[in-house]
């Protein structure tokens, strides 16, 4: 079997479990690809070649270990790893070796995964651009903050990678890089051992090339192995388009992407796919999410702000100071607003709708000089804690990918995966159907 690095995670796992390919050969193919492209894409902060090869050889000799048996994985450099440096994208933590793996990383290893290396993140997973480029066009951003993970999967360096989202750091880079990104329900995956930004918002997830890939990743990261098998969609769901109150930020290609998505959705839906507005309780969610995030970040990084102020970027320092200016009274009001909004959205999903389709980003990936892109179309879904998945459906004016996100009710992760696969199979472009 040639070009092993081009296999999706699911394809690779099937071949590995049947002993049709060796974990060692797959790993070497990924390392060869990294050797060819890393100087351009710059997706990695560190590689654990020797440990990964040793692990692959062990797995090739022994019994099939778990749902990720022999699969090379990229881990965002926000997740602790005991055998690889974890810098959180900051010079403060250069050469920092945690004593233990993050819970999600330990679970992936237990499931047979091979941690190939750490993928680049922005400074403390915030908005300061890192060195990573977009594999589709190196002059454009891969997004943030899970930049390295999205780019590594997109460029066939690794079939699966981890990510985290506090505003839009899984869905947006997945859209920019043309891969599938899955942010499960808030709390689905333990955040223990992952550098915290905003505890009310931080959510872990995965990047892959197919819906089954990211389901496999989140199944392993969470320990909920039921997710590893994406069930067929057995009924026609109620689907609607939600342009959100931020639609004025959408570029032409995002409008085109939603038109394509509407057509595909109508193939699998119970009826016509119309537009829907969120309940009035959600009117100020974007602003509330921004304030909650800044307020919590300002406290989460008290140690770094006090002891290492000169090692923080001006951009990150500005965010910390903005957070400090938000009163605790305002922060509490925003949390109450979020609680009311979650209750109203729960009613919406119970009474009116099963799946929402919304923009993943304002448009295609912007030039590197313009930063990591605007997360505005992700903020409210992150605050609501809903499961979201990005699927590539169109292209922008520069030929770069443009995705949409499918969103389900709280805790409906398995249903979302089933609906997403049915949706992908209904897309008009046969190449895009490969995401299923």
Of the listed 8, 90, 126, 145, which one is catalytic? Answer: 145
Q: How many other β-carbons are positioned within 10 Å of the β-carbon of residue 58?
A: 14
How far apart CA 270 and CA 233 sit, in angstroms, is 12
How far apart CA 428 and CA 217 sit, in angstroms, is 27
**Is the distance from CB of 68 to CB of 110 less than 8 angstroms?**
no
Of the listed 76, 188, 342, 412, which one is catalytic? Answer: 76
Find, among 389, 396, 393, the residue nearest to 414 by Cα: 389
How far apart CA 182 and CA 391 sit, in angstroms, is 9
Does residue 139 sit in helix, strand or coil?
A: coil
Find, among 375, 383, 377, the residue nearest to 334 by Cα: 383
Give yes or no: 169 in active site: yes
Q: Six-digit token pair at 287?
A: 């602003």
Does residue 75 sit in helix, strand or coil?
A: strand
Of the listed 29, 169, 175, 360, which one is catalytic? Answer: 169
Give yes or no: 344 in active site: no
How far apart CA 167 and CA 171 sit, in angstroms, is 9
How far apart CA 205 and CA 217 sit, in angstroms, is 8
Does residue 390 sit in helix, strand or coil?
A: strand
φ, ψ of residue 355 to 5 degrees: the values are -135, 135
Which of the 8 DSSP states describes residue 236? P
What radius of gyration do the chain's Cα atoms show? Answer: 20
Residue 164 vs residues 44, 121, 277, 403: alpha-carbon distances, Å: 16, 10, 27, 18
Which residues does the annotation mark as catalytic?
Answer: 76, 145, 169
């Amino acid at each position: 079997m040639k070009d092993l690095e081009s296999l999706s995670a699911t394809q690779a796992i099937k071949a590995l479990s049947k002993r049709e390919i060796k974990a060692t050969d797959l790993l070497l193919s990924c390392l060869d690809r990294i050797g060819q492209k890393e100087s351009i894409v710059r997706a990695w902060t560190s590689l654990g070649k020797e440990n990964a090869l040793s692990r692959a050889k062990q797995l090739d000799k022994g019994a099939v270990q778990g749902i990720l048996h022999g699969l090379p994985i990229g881990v965002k450099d926000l997740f602790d790893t005991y055998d690889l440096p974890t810098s959180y994208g900051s010079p403060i933590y250069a050469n920092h070796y945690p004593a233990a793996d993050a819970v999600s990383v330990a679970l992936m290893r237990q499931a047979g995964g091979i941690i190939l290396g750490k993928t680049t993140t922005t400074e403390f997973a915030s908005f300061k651009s890192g060195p990573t480029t977009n594999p589709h066009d190196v002059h454009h951003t891969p997004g943030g903050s899970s930049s390295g993970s999205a780019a590594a999967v997109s460029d066939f360096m690794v079939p699966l990678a981890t990510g985290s989202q506090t505003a839009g750091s899984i869905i947006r880079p997945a859209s920019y890089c043309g891969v599938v990104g899955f942010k499960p329900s808030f709390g689905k995956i333990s955040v223990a051992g992952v550098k915290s930004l905003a505890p009310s918002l931080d959510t872990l997830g995965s990047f892959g090339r197919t819906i089954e890939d990211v389901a496999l990743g989140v199944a392993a990261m969470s320990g909920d192995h039921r997710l590893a098998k994406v069930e067929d969609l057995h009924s026609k769901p109620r689907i609607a388009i939600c342009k959100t109150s931020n639609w004025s930020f959408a570029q032409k290609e995002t409008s085109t992407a939603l038109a394509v998505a509407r057509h595909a959705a109508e193939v699998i839906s119970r009826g016509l796919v119309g537009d829907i507005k969120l309940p009035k309780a959600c009117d100020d969610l974007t602003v509330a999410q921004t304030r909650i995030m800044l307020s919590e970040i300002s406290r989460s990084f008290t140690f770094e702000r006090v002891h290492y102020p000169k090692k923080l970027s001006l951009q990150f320092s500005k965010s910390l100071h903005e957070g400090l200016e938000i009163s605790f009274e305002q922060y509490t009001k925003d949390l109450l607003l979020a609680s009311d909004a979650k209750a109203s959205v729960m009613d919406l999903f119970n009474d009116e709708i099963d799946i929402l389709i919304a923009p993943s980003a304002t448009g295609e990936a912007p030039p590197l000089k313009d930063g990591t892109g605007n997360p505005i179309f992700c903020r409210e879904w992150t605050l609501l804690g809903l499961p979201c998945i990005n699927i590539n459906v169109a292209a922008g004016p520069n030929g770069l990918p443009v995705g949409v996100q499918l969103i389900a009710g709280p805790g409906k992760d398995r249903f979302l995966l089933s609906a997403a696969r049915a949706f992908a199979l209904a897309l008009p472009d046969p190449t895009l159907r490969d995401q299923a």
